[in-house]
Amino acid sequence: MNNEKKEIKFDKFEKLDRKVEQKINEVENMSNKQLVNKALHTSFAGAAIWAVVLNIFMETLGRFSTTSIFGGIQFIFDNPLVFLYNTLIIFATLVIASLFKRRLFVFTIVSIFWMAIGIANGVILTQRMTPFTVKDLSVLDDGLTIVTNYMKTWQIALIAAGIIIAIGLLVLLFIKGPKKEDGVKWKRNLVGVVLVIASTFGATSFMINSGRVETFFGNLAYAYRDYGVAYCFVNTWLNTGISKPDGYSEEYMLNIFSKEELGDDNKLLLEEKDVDEKYPNIIFLQLESFIDPATITSIDVSGDVCPNFRKLVNNYPSGELTVPACGAGTANVEFEVMTGLSVKFFGPGEYPYKSVLKEKSTETLAYDLKSLGYSAHAIHNHRGVFYNRNIVFQNMGMDTFTSIEYMNDVEKTPKNWAKDDLLVECITDALDSTETRDMIYTISVQGHGKYPGEQVLENPKFQVTNAPSEELKWKFEYYVNQIGEMDDFVGRLVETLEKYKEPTVLVMYGDHIPAIDLTEGSLTNNNLYGTEYVIWNNFGMTGDDEDLYTYQLASHVMDMLDMQVGTVFTYQQKHKNSETYLSDLKAIGYDMLYGKYYMYGGTNPFEPSDMKMGVKKIKIDEVVKVGSKYYIKGENFNEYSKVTLKGKTLKTIYLGTNILGLLEEVDPEDVSDMKVSQVESKTNEIMSTTE
Q: What is the pLDDT of residues 459-502, one digit of tens each?
A: 999 999 999 999 999 999 999 999 999 999 999 999 999 999 99
217 contacts 348 by C-beta, under 8 angstroms: yes
Question: Residue 21 has what pLDDT?
Answer: 55
CA–CA distance from 326 to each of 288, 528, 600 (Å)?
12, 6, 35
Averaged pLDDT, 52-68: 83
pLDDT over 50 at 5, yes or no = no
Confidence band of 35 (pLDDT split at 50, 70, 90): very low
Residue 145: which of 371, 385, 375 has the closest Cα? 385
Highest mean pLDDT among 170-179, 260-269, 342-351, 359-368: 359-368
Who wins on pLDDT, 103 or 529? 529
Averaged pLDDT, 28-32: 51
Sign (positive/negative) of CA torsion 417, 420, 425, 431? Answer: positive
Q: Tell me: the pLDDT tens digits for 201-222?
A: 999 999 999 989 987 675 677 7
Confidence band of 190 (pLDDT split at 50, 70, 90): confident
Confidence band of 42 (pLDDT split at 50, 70, 90): very low
Asked if the bond preceding 450 is cis, omega within 30° of 0, the reply is yes
Least confident of 267-271, 372-376, 402-406: 267-271
d(CA 288, CA 111): 38
Q: Tell me: the pLDDT tens digits for 230-242?
A: 999 998 888 889 9
Long-range Cβ contact pairs of 656-664 (< 8 A, separation 24 or more): 657/408, 658/633, 658/634, 659/631, 659/632, 659/633, 659/634, 660/631, 660/632, 660/634, 661/629, 661/630, 661/631, 661/632, 662/629, 662/630, 662/631, 662/632
Residue 104: which of 152, 173, 46, 48 has the closest Cα? 173
Question: Residue 647 has what pLDDT?
Answer: 87
d(CA 378, CA 200): 47
Query: What is the DSSP code string of 219-255?
Result: SHHHHHHHH-HHHHHHHHHH--SPPPPTT-SHHHHHT
Who wins on pLDDT, 101 or 47? 47
Q: What is the dihedral of CA 128, 133, 138, 141, to 10 degrees?
A: 40
Confidence band of 108 (pLDDT split at 50, 70, 90): confident
Who wins on pLDDT, 653 or 109? 653
Confidence band of 177 (pLDDT split at 50, 70, 90): low
Question: Residue 128 has what pLDDT?
Answer: 62
Q: In what order do the strands lie in the sheet with 652-656?
A: 619-626, 629-635, 659-662, 652-656
CA 82 to chain centre: 27
Question: Residue 242 has what pLDDT?
Answer: 94
